[in-house]
Amino acid sequence: MMAPQRPHGPAMDPASLSVQEIGEFGLIDRLRNLLPYGAPSVLVGIGDDVAVLRTEAGRLLLATCDCQIEGVHFTLPAVPAYLLGRRAAAVNLSDMAAMGGTPLWALVSLMVPESTPVSLVEEIYRGFGEALSRFGAVVVGGNTARHPDRVVIDVTLLGEGDPDRVILRSGARVGDLIIVTGTLGASRAGLECLAADLSGVDEPLRSAAVHRHWAPEPRLAEGRLLAASGRVRAMIDVSDGLMGDLGHLCRASGVGAVLYADAVPVDPACDAVARTVGRDPLEWALYGGEDYELLAAVDPGGLADITQAFQEARVSPCRVIGRIVPREEGLRCVRSDGTAVAGPDRAWDHFRKEAS
């Protein structure tokens, strides 16, 4: 738990200092001022051994965690520190969105080498705090520690949900429609742009792809609308790839699925970048991952109401991209003429070596 303590001695300029020079407690004191930490539900927050939080009667407590590791999820200085902080918040907020929940409290632990500039750490926390503030969540504690050779950001996010509206992965039924929010493949395109000099791609599309990779937009409003409809039977966020995450949902629900290739919303940036490097845009949309859109199985009778609610709220559009089928039919993606364009799901797996 972070415990603020002011450093002794004259004022120091963090732009020219490392975390070793300012010390753990001097760093914590600076970071506290960058984070949203006050809320009526927080009885005791940053500064004690344990946070004390007030929950509403009749509400469910939701919890998720995720981490961002240098050399695995990002490289420095390729990603701006501010966007890294936003990303660390967004991937957790997206999990909360997939449950139809409301994010409230976060605990963030940071590990850095002792030579890390204070200014870099401050930018990470500024991005993290601003991302949380957009959705009404606050930081209630955390930890700082030394790491021998890389930056690690570990986040636990807590929130609340209505007992009648929390959406799991496991409720899909045969005959349900499969819908997805937004567009897909832009994050994979952004990763490609970061790895190579793609002068043939229009700059606005290249910038959009890189931004989607480093600063995904958690679909919290969309998640709550879907949960409130009462017509969503299962939901998951698209972090491991559309086919992979649909596979997770199908396995949890004991069903199969068919996707309509022509209905998959390929992002314009994905289309442009993929074609520039000679890759299939649909492949990136299906398997690229880290788009953080919402994928849901919905009662066909509720589609019109869901579509209207999205239009009235002016949020990211959702569209039908497939249907739930019996388990024995498996998981596949087909074109309008019935020919298959994708095989079994292939989700991102941290412990499996991926082919390029």
348 is in an annotated binding site: yes
pLDDT category at 283 given cuts 50, 70, 90 is very high
DSSP 188: H
Query: Against a cut of 0.85, is the pTM above it?
Result: yes
> According to the annotation, is 239 in a ligand binding site?
yes
141 is in an annotated binding site: no
Burial 225-252 (b: 16+ CB within 10 A, else e): bbbebebbbbbbbbbbbbbbbbbbbbee
- The per-residue pLDDT for range 89-98, each reduced to its tens digit, is 999 999 999 9
Q: What is the pLDDT of residues 111-140, one digit of tens each?
A: 999 999 999 999 999 999 999 999 999 999
CA 185 from chain centre, in angstroms, equals 14
Collapsed DSSP state (helix, strand, coil) of residue 336: coil
Mean of the pLDDT values across residues 35-43?
80
Range with top average pLDDT, 30-34, 139-143, 262-266: 262-266
Residues contacting residue 161 through CB under 8 Å, at least 6 positions apart: 59, 60, 62, 99, 100, 101, 102, 227
Residue 284 marked ligand-binding? no
Q: What's residue 352's pLDDT?
A: 56
Q: What pLDDT band is residue 168 in, cutting at 50, 70 and 90?
A: very high
Question: What is the rounded distance in angstroms from the CA atom of residue 158 to the CA atom of residue 285?
Answer: 30
- Average pLDDT (230-258) is 97
DSSP assigned state of 56: P
**For residue 39, what pLDDT is reported?**
83
What gap in Å lies between CA 251 and CA 240, rounded to an integer?
Answer: 15
Homologous superfamily in CATH for domain 14-161: PurM-like, N-terminal domain (3.30.1330.10)
Residue 329 φ then ψ, to 5° = -85, -10
Strand order in the sheet with 138-146: 60-69, 152-161, 102-112, 138-146
The pLDDT of residue 148 is above 70: yes
The confidence band for 237, taking pLDDT boundaries of 50, 70 and 90, is very high
For residue 92, say whether it is annotated as part of any ligand binding site: no
Closest C-alpha to 115, from 143, 80, 144, 150: 150
- Asked if residue 54 belongs to a known ligand binding site, the reply is no
Give counts: helices (H), strands (E), the chain: 11, 13
Instruction: With a cut of 50, say whether residue 339 has pLDDT above it.
Output: yes
In 238-285, DSSP assigns E strands to: 256-260
Would the annotation count 143 as a binding residue? yes
What pLDDT, on the 0 to 100 scale, is given for residue 9?
Answer: 43
Q: Is 101 annotated as a binding residue?
A: no
Count of residues making up the chain: 356
Tell the CATH superfamily of the 177-342 domain: PurM-like C-terminal domain (3.90.650.10)
Task: Note the Cα 276 to chain centre separation in Å.
Answer: 27
pLDDT for 210 = 94
* Position 61 confidence tier, pLDDT thresholds 50, 70, 90: very high
At 69, give phi and psi (nearest 5°): -120, 125
**For range 159-187, the mean pLDDT:** 97
User: Which pLDDT band holds residue 15 (cuts at 50, 70, 90)?
Assistant: low
Examine domains 14-161 and 177-342 and report if their fold is the same. no
Residue 8 is labelled as binding a ligand: no
Q: How many Å apart are CA 73 and CA 155, to the nearest integer? A: 14
Q: Tell me whether residue 66 is annotated as binding.
A: yes
The pLDDT of residue 6 is: 35
CB-neighbour burial class of residue 24 (10 A; exposed 0-12, middle 13-18, buried 19+): middle
Mean pLDDT (whole number) for 326-347: 81
User: Bridge partners of 260?
Assistant: 334
Q: Does 278 have pLDDT greater than 90?
A: yes
- Note whether 257 and 250 are within 8 A (CB): yes
Is 299 one of the annotated binding-site residues?
no
**Domain extents for the chain?**
14-161, 177-342
Q: Assign 7 a pLDDT band (cuts: 50, 70, 90).
A: very low
What does each C-alpha distance from 78 to 152, 322, 335 come to in angstroms?
Answer: 15, 37, 38
Instruction: Assign 10 a pLDDT band (cuts: 50, 70, 90).
Output: very low
Average pLDDT rounded to a whole number, residues 244-263: 97
pLDDT at 99 over 80: yes
Q: Is residue 175 a known part of a binding site?
A: no
